Amino acid sequence: MERSAYQPRLGSWHEAPQAQPLIGPNAVIQTLAALQVLVGEECRQTVARSAGLPDSEPGEMIPEASFVGLVAAVRDELGHERAAEVLSLSGKKTADYVAGNRIPGVFRGLLRLLPSRIAMPLLLGAFRRHAWTFSGRSDFLVSGDYPGSILLTDAPTCRNTGAGARTGGYYEAAFQGLLSLASPNVAVTEIECRSLGDSHCRFRISPNTRQSRG
């Protein structure tokens, strides 16, 4: 579907009629930050205008549609390959922010002390309880035996992309960054994606067996 070059800019983050479902503000904040790092302030402003984002920075849960629109605007402006770099950095930045500001230090310390095969299920359980803050309307599921894989049934970054390639790099980087709290040097790889016609996006978790704590 073609998007107009510029969407009307919203006056506030909850002005849009799509007030539900919601997603955490870091999906937008860190994507704009990644744009500034990789392509500069001028492009960041162009993409924000194209997505119709308010001038203010979001400080609370926002309509998921704001993130979906931003992702589309990034791809329109930069193309899928360069956009994938931006979204991967955004996912990493989101993980860094959440790890440092939303996960209590006591819990982080506990994860470091426990064997990985105990720490990772604990952390994935916390993900599940708060999944709507990063996955919007998508269901979040963990499948298989340890270390298993993460499924998103309707990842915001993988809807109607027309990419012909995997487009879950934001979640790949975010999950990898956060799961490293439980298993240093863990790798998370998207192995199924709705952009390729799969019914969901699946992210395989691969702990570093040589450095895993258990």
Name the pTM for this structure. 0.89
Given a cut of 50, is residue 77 above it in pLDDT? yes
DSSP 129-194: HTTHHHHTTS-EEEESSTT-EEEESS-GGGSS---SS---HHHHHHHHHHHTTTSTT-EEEEEE-G
Q: What is the pLDDT of residue 211?
A: 46
With a CB cutoff of 8 Å and minimum separation 6, the contacts of 37 are 89
Q: Which residue from 128, 133, 8, 138 is spatially nearest to 62, judged by alpha carbons?
A: 133
Q: Is the pLDDT of residue 196 over 60?
A: yes
How much is the average pLDDT of 92-105? Answer: 93
Residue 99 has a CB neighbour count (10 Å cut-off) of 14
Q: Is the pLDDT of residue 5 over 50?
A: no
| Unique residue bearing structure tokens 């040097």 | 185
Per-residue pLDDT band for 20 (boundaries 50, 70, 90) equals confident
What pLDDT, in 10s, does the model give residues 21-42?
A: 899 999 999 999 999 999 999 9
Domains of the chain listed by start with CATH number: 22-206 (3.90.1520.10)
Name the more confident of 91 and 162: 91
Q: What is the pLDDT of residue 10?
A: 57
pLDDT tier, 15 (very low <50, low <70, confident <90, very high otherwise): low
Distance between CA 18 and CA 134 in Å, rounded? 17
What is the pLDDT at residue 12?
57
